[in-house]
Amino acid sequence: MHHETMLSRLLRPELLLVAVFAAVAGASLMRPAAPAVEPARLATVDLEKVFNSLDRYTAEQGKVKAVGEELEKQVKTAESSVRQLQSDLDSFKEGSKEQADAIAKLQAAVGELRAVQQFVTAKLELEKARALRDTYLAIKDGVRRFAEAEGYDYILLDDSVVDMDPANASRTMQQISARRFLFTSPKRDVTTQLIGMMNSEWKEKKGG
């Protein structure tokens, strides 16, 4: 009767596979388990609502209004000058040098009025853009501090709440394609909390 040697038995494919599996399993048991990954905490905000509810943005809009009223005075002064020169034309003889000089002054005044109007429009748009930019940067900073305080990993802009403008098919598709959220749970919305924190900070900054 032929007796197999220990080496020949170990070289059998099925026994070799069992040995390899046992070695791998043993190594896995000896390796420390990887720590469980904690799920990320997410929240959403309605950015438009934040803008419209911040005392800071209301104050910024007040500044823009004050600048607009001051600029409007410049326009009215230029308009008044044009009206006066138009009225003076009637007092000059038709075809006289005085009338020609008055017409030249009127043309210069009209040019100045247009220049003032263009300046006022550009300046007012610049002030509106500044108010939006400064408020947006303040919101970003507020969101960061709110997330750190409340333990959120991400706070996302909820664009599913914004209504679409019913334009032509191409424009409507552009609006649809620009959306990133089709649905967000109200449970994840922290808009009210963020507004409350930022308005409270603004009141403290302004002395109550």
158: exposed, middle or buried (C-beta count within 10 Å: 0-12, 13-18, 19+)?
Answer: buried
Q: What is the mean pLDDT of the chain?
A: 84
Terminal CA-CA length for the chain: 103
Q: Which residue, 186, 185, 206, is CA-closest to 59?
A: 206
In the prediction, which pLDDT does 7 show?
45
Provide, rounded to the nearest whole percent, the portion of the chain with pLDDT above 90: 53
Which segment of 84-93, 145-154, 196-205 scores lowest on mean pLDDT? 84-93
pTM: 0.72
User: Are residues 153 and 41 in contact, defined by beta-carbon separation less than 8 angstroms?
Assistant: yes
Q: What is the mean pLDDT of residues 43-68?
A: 94
Is pLDDT of 184 > 50? yes
Q: What is the mean pLDDT of residues 182-206?
A: 93
User: Are residues 155 and 45 in contact, defined by beta-carbon separation less than 8 angstroms?
Assistant: yes
